[in-house]
């Protein structure tokens, strides 16, 4: 007994702040390298959420300055609506304080832990308070706070508070100093780039130790701010039902219609009948077992999916493509937004894009970009349901090689937008495997795979045609020269082959001993009028025939000839020059022409 009493003395409650102080990794502060990224991520997420709520185009500044050997000062500033002075200490100095926790809608932040965890991390490693400046509008002065968190109680401690002038009319600025390193600088820039891709309406400027990078916006339309909706009867658990029932004053049917989305009178009656309850019962008077029956009934009755249009904010196919193209040079890009669907009463929309070629590294695994509610997921790629889905798809049938993950110059982006993204942990690194979500991801990737395949086969066909054209227009004539020499007969004319095989308009350029020859042959069955553009450093003063037009730009001459050729006719121009530059034939549809530069 004495032992139990001794033990009892040591037993006490712990505050959430204390808990997370000891379990930093749960929030993504496992290492100094990661801490910097997590802090910026939390601050930028908050800034974007705030801007969207106020429907302003986000203009976000991220600053990182080395203050001391191991200490960095992180600054994040936005042009959002600002925070009223009373709330500033709570938002930044208290864990689990936030506006979005009780709302059902798509948002980046949820529990109100992130930024205050960064404040906590700062005071833990350097002991310095966080500095917050916020201004709610032109008429108000800005307020500057210096804040810390009392970990034993999880309450904010205001070190100082003053009103100041600030050049921004509205917005919030936070400065935090903590021990860190810039070892993951590339990852940090990647994170900002990815954030810019999925937030194409935001401008993000980063100043990392004096090095400034700007991610410009591609649209100036603010996406509509998702509206919160009532909980869906299929997505509710017993505890939550009990709590909202206790707070309600109406009857059971009023409660069902008024507190849940998509429940009308008819659906409510059906649920009540199934639960064997009287519709007129006061809902706050229901016994536990009656509530349990009601919950079962709510989940047994068919209810339409929650109103996704209202509570979700997908990026959209067009903006995904624009966002990706702006940051990464691609030869091909296609995006898809799936119709909304639902898991366990939570709405979600899967969006995805596939990119190919351009500046994507041609070797190794395809790049996989994962996003949840417009936030890039940087860590734990292997544990993520999205990655798992990517490797489930049979990419070989879409023209990509595959070793688990697809390989080659491809980029795969997947965005999960939901009122409740199922993460595997609090640090929100990986999406948990939920069959409904995985199904949608696989479907969208298959749709995109088919698009990729048709692009690749079009490209291959074009390549094959070019290859053929090169062989016929450039190498066969050389074979002809050699063969004629061997058999000691006059040079065999290979234009019949060209004509027979190509049946097109063929333009050829060949430079020999300082003479540039450009030949155009019309092997089609009808008359064509073409315009020939030859851009090079040759002035071609002695060109025969004379160009119809010459444009001189910085020593480059764009020579233009316009000509009409009957079926089977040929045309030629000769001039003195080096024969560099390029050749282009216009006025003839793409499939009908072959342009070969034999000097290349």
Partner 1 sequence: MSREEMDALARERLVGIARGWYDQMRDGIVPFIRLPTRTKRNIAYDDASEVWKYGEKESTRAAANEKGAVHLLKMAYLIGFLKQQLVENRSSTLRELYYISEGWKKAKFAAQDESNLLIEDLEIITEVQREAFHLRPEEDGASIFGSLRIRETTRRGVKEMHCQDDVGEAGYPIPNNVDNLEFVDHDAKFVIAIETGGMYARLMENGFDEEYGAILVHLKGQPARSTRRVLRKLNDSLGLPVVVFTDGDPWSYRIYASVAYGSIKSAHMSELLATPQAQFIGVQPSDISDYNLPSDHLTEQDISALKAELTDPRFATDYWRNQINLQLEMKVKSEQQAFASRGLDFVTKEYLPKRLSEMGVI
Residues in contact with partner 1, shown as a per-residue x/- string from 67 to 86 under the rule CB under 8 A: --------------------
Residue 464 to residue 470: CA distance in whole angstroms = 10
Q: Annotated binding residue at 408?
A: no
Alpha helices of 368-475 — where are they, by DSSP H? 385-392, 435-470
Helix-strand-coil percent breakdown of the chain, rounded to 5?
35, 30, 35
Q: How far is the CB of 480 from partner 1 (least distance, A)?
A: 6
What is the b/e burial string over 256-266, where b = at least 16 CB atoms within 10 angstroms of the residue's CB?
bbebbbbbeee
Q: Where are the beta strands (DSSP E) in 151-248?
A: 155-164, 171-179, 203-208, 211-215
- 486 is a site residue for partner 1 (CB under 8 A): yes
3-state secondary structure of 536: strand
CA separation for the pair 583, 600 (Å, rounded) = 11
Cα of 380 vs its chain's centroid, Å: 18
110 is in an annotated binding site: yes
From 107-115, 139-147, 199-207, 465-473, give the range in contact with partner 1 by CB under 8 A.
465-473
Residue in 160, 214, 329, 464 binding partner 1, rule: CB under 8 A:
464
Say whether residue 460 binds partner 1 (CB under 8 A).
no
- For the chain, first and last CA: distance in Å? 95
Three-state SS for 199?
Answer: coil
Q: Does 596 bind partner 1 (CB under 8 A)?
A: no
Pick 162 or 493: Cβ nearer partner 1: 493
- 3-class SS of residue 291: helix
Is 100 labelled a binding residue? yes
> What radius of gyration do the chain's Cα atoms show?
33
The residues, any chain, with a CB within 8 Å of residue 98's CB and separated by 6 or more, are 91, 109, 110, 111, 112
Site string for partner 1, 336-375 (x = CB under 8 A): ----------------------------------------
Q: Are 550 and 543 in contact (CB under 8 A)?
A: no
Stretch that binds partner 1, among 45-53, 112-120, 374-382, 476-484 (CB under 8 A): 476-484
Q: How far is the CB of 523 from partner 1 (least distance, A)?
A: 12
DSSP H helical ranges for 247-353: 252-259, 265-274, 288-300, 308-311, 317-327
Task: Please identify, using beta-carbon distances, which residue of 503 and 562 lies nearer to partner 1.
Answer: 503
- Which C-beta is closer to partner 1: that of 54 or that of 476? 476
Q: Is the peptide bond before 545 cis (omega within 30 degrees of 0)?
A: yes
Q: Considering the rule CB under 8 A, would residue 205 count as an interface residue with partner 1?
A: no
Q: Is 480 in the site for partner 1 (CB under 8 A)?
A: yes
The answer to whether the annotation marks 99 as part of a ligand binding site is yes
Q: Which of 361, 364, 496, 514 contacts partner 1 by CB under 8 A? A: 496
Question: Is 320 known to sit in a ligand binding site?
Answer: no
Applying CB under 8 A, the site for partner 1 has a residue count of 26
4 binds partner 1 (CB under 8 A): no
The verdict on 285 binding partner 1 (CB under 8 A) reads no
Under the binding rule (CB under 8 A), the answer on residue 243 touching partner 1 is no
Find the shortest distance in angstroms from Cβ 452 to partner 1. 25
Residue 569 DSSP class: -
Q: How far is the CB of 568 from partner 1 (least distance, A)?
A: 14
For partner 1, the closer of residues 283 and 594 by Cβ is: 594
- Are the CB atoms for 419 and 386 separated by under 8 Å? no
Instruction: Extract the annotated binding site for ATP.
Output: 46, 78, 99-100, 109-116, 428
Point out which residues bind partner 1 (CB under 8 A): 464, 467-468, 470-472, 475-476, 478-480, 482-487, 489, 492-494, 496-497, 499-501
Instruction: Extract the annotated binding site.
Output: 46, 78, 99-100, 109-116, 428
């Amino acid at each position: 007994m004495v032992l139990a009493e001794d033990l009892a003395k040591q037993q006490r409650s712990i505050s959430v702040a204390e808990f997370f102080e000891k379990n930093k990794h749960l929030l993504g502060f496992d290492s100094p390298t990661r801490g910097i990224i997590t802090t910026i991520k939390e601050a930028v997420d908050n800034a974007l959420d705030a801007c969207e709520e106020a429907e302003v185009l986000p203009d976000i500044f991220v600053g990182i300055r080395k203050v001391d050997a191991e200490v960095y000062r992180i600054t994040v500033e936005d042009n959002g609506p600002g925070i009223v002075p009373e709330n500033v200490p709570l938002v930044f100095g208290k864990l689990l304080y936030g506006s979005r926790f009780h709302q059902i809608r798509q948002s980046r932040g949820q529990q109100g832990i992130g930024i205050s965890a960064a404040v906590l991390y700062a005071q833990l490693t350097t002991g310095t308070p966080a500095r917050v400046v916020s201004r709610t509008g032109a008429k108000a002065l800005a307020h500057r706070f210096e804040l810390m968190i009392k970990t034993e109680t999880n309450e904010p401690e205001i070190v100082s508070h003053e009103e100041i002038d600030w050049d921004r009319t509205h917005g919030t600025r936070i400065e935090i100093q903590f021990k860190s390193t810039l070892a993951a600088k590339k990852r940090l820039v990647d994170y900002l780039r990815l954030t810019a891709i999925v937030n194409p309406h935001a401008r993000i400027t980063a100043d990392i130790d004096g090095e400034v990078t700007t991610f410009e916006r591609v649209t100036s339309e603010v996406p509509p701010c998702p509206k919160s909706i009532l909980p869906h009867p299929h997505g509710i658990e017993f505890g939550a039902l009990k709590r909202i029932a206790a707070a309600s004053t109406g009857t059971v049917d009023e409660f069902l219609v008024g507190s849940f989305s998509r429940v009308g009178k008819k659906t409510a009656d059906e649920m009540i009948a199934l639960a064997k309850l009287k519709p007129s019962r006061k809902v706050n008077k229901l016994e536990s077992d009656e509530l349990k029956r009601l919950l079962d009934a709510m989940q047994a009755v068919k209810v339409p999916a929650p109103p996704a249009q209202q509570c979700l904010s997908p990026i959209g196919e067009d903006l995904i493509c624009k966002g990706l193209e702006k940051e990464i040079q691609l030869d091909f890009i296609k995006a898809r937004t799936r119709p909304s669907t639902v898991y366990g009463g939570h709405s979600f929309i899967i969006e995805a894009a596939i990119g190919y070629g351009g500046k994507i590294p041609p070797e190794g695994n395809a790049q996989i970009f994962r996003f949840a509610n417009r936030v890039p997921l940087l860590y734990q790629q292997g544990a993520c349901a999205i990655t798992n889905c990517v490797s489930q798809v049979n990419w070989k049938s879409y023209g990509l090689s595959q070793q688990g993950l697809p390989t080659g110059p491809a980029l795969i982006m997947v965005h999960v937008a939901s009122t409740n993204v199922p993460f595997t942990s609090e640090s929100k690194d990986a999406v948990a495997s939920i069959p409904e979500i995985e199904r949608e991801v696989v479907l969208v990737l298959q749709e995109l795979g088919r698009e990729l395949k048709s692009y690749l086969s079009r490209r291959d066909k074009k390549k094959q045609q070019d290859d053929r054209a090169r062989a016929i227009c450039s190498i066969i004539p050389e074979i002809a020269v050699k063969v004629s020499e061997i058999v000691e007969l006059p040079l065999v004319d290979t234009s019949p082959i060209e004509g027979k095989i190509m049946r097109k308009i063929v333009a050829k350029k060949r430079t020999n001993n300082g003479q540039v020859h450009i030949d155009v042959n019309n092997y089609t069955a009808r008359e064509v009028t073409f315009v020939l553009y030859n851009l090079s450093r040759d002035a071609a003063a002695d060109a025969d025939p004379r160009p119809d037009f010459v444009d001189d730009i910085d020593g480059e001459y764009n020579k233009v000839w316009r000509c009409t050729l009957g079926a089977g006719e040929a045309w030629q121009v000769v001039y003195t020059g080096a024969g560099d530059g390029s050749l282009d034939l216009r006025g003839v549809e793409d499939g009908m022409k072959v342009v070969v530069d034999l000097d290349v």
